[in-house]
Amino acid sequence: MPPSGVFSQGVWKELDRACVGVDMLKDRLTKVLENHIMAQLPGVLKDVDKGVKKCTEELSGLGPSRMSTSTQRQYLMEASAKFTRLISDAVYAQYSDPYFATGAEPYTKRLRAVVQNSLSDFAKEMLQMGQAALIVEAAPANKSREVVRSTYMERVALKRVIDDFSVLVVESCVLQRLLNLLSSDTIRNLDDATIKDIAQESDSSAAARTRLQDRLEILQGGLVVLRKLEQGMQTVAQVEHQLPCTGEDLNDVQDSCNRPDKE
């Protein structure tokens, strides 16, 4: 006896005809599946979108690809510009760049401040603890650590000149030369082999880049499909609530939503 015959007899005939038979069961199960997908779809979209952002951030952290000589030279030129700017800021005590405020001990990056404070501490210690001679008004009676004031002042004046000269030498020969350690002219004068040795991307970095690019492509493609699915299911849900259409009509709507876009 067919199922419709079974459900048309006895207590079964009281059942709603929309709940009887294999065809109706298929429709109900389809609806349950659709509801389940609609409930889980926002979470899946969120996870995929998060994966896209993570891959993008990791790719950004790797920087641009450096497989060719031109990209390697460009990479060094950009590094040179950044290095020169930071060194210049450190030498001239311009600490507005975030670089000087990051790290476990950001103070150590402030070159001029570190040097100046170190010299100040040294001068203070020498003033309190150091004593090379005892200054007296008259000439010492015998050879000792005593020094006549006039002689001492001449030494102080000479020492001041030497100190000023030393500061100028340090300023011009040390600090200023820091600015030319990695200048753009230096990069331009390097041959291709040296550029490759310095700036070529490592095998592990290149492999990581390829892996991330492949994953990003898959995630972005999946995101497009999921958003189309979400849009299509929302359209079907709106039709179900607004129009008294049949199951065949809903199937036609679903087919039109899932049909690939024409070029």
Got the DSSP string for 27-84?
Answer: HHHHHHHHHHHHHHHHHHHHHHHHHHHHHHHHHHHH-S---SHHHHHHHHHHHHHHHH
- Asked if pLDDT for residue 143 goes beyond 70, the answer is no
33 is a domain residue: yes
* Residues 117-142, mean pLDDT to the nearest whole number: 67
Instruction: Say yes or no to pLDDT of 107 above 60.
Output: yes
Half-sphere exposure in the Cβ direction for 41 (13 Å, CA): 20
Token pair recorded at residue 147: 């020094």
Residue 263 pLDDT > 50, yes or no? no
* Domains in the chain, number: 1
Confidence of residue 26 (pLDDT cuts 50, 70, 90): confident
- End-to-end CA gap in the chain: 52
The predicted pLDDT at position 213 comes to 93
Q: Hey, what are 217's tokens?
A: 């492509």
**pLDDT class of 250 with cuts at 50, 70, 90:** very low
Is 1 a domain residue?
no
Return mean pLDDT, the chain.
75
* 89 lies in some domain: no
Residue 22 covered by a domain: yes
For 199-238, write each residue's pLDDT tens digit.
Answer: 888 889 889 999 999 999 999 998 898 888 888 777 766 6
Q: How many contiguous H segments (helices) and E segments (strands) does the chain have?
A: 10, 2
Neighbours of 187 (CB within 10 A): 21
pLDDT band at residue 53 under the 50/70/90 scheme: very high
- Asked whether residue 256 is assigned to any structural domain, the reply reads yes
Q: Could you give the dihedral angle defined by the CA atoms of residues 92, 93, 95 and 97, in that order, rounded to the nearest 10 degrees?
A: 10
Q: Would you say 231 and 257 are in contact if contact means Cβ atoms under 8 Å apart?
A: yes
pLDDT over 60 (residue 253): no
Dihedral-angle region of residue 63 (phi above 0 means left; psi in -120 to 50 means alpha; beta otherwise):
left
Distances (CA, A) of 129 to 5, 150, 205, 234: 114, 23, 55, 84
Rounded to an integer, what distance in angstroms lies between the CA atom of residue 14 and that of residue 20? 11
Highest mean pLDDT among 29-38, 118-127, 133-142, 161-170: 29-38
Using a cut of 0.75, tell me whether the model's pTM lies above it: no
Residue 240 lies in a domain: yes
Highest mean pLDDT among 10-24, 30-44, 120-134, 240-254: 30-44
Structural tokens at position 23: 């065809």
20-29 — which CB contacts under 8 Å span 24+ positions?
A: 27/247
- Which structural domain range is residue 22 located in? 18-65+206-263
The least confident of 38-47, 136-145, 152-161 is 152-161
User: Which tokens in the block code for residue 209?
Assistant: 């880049």
Does the pLDDT of residue 42 top 70, yes or no?
yes
**132 in a domain, yes or no?**
no
Beta bridge pairs of residue 106: none
Look at the block and give the residue holding tokens 């972005």. Answer: 220
Per DSSP, what are the bridge partners of residue 134? 146
Per-range mean pLDDT, top range of 19-33, 42-56, 139-153: 42-56
Please give the average per-residue pLDDT across 164-179, as a whole number.
60
Residue 80 lies in a domain: no
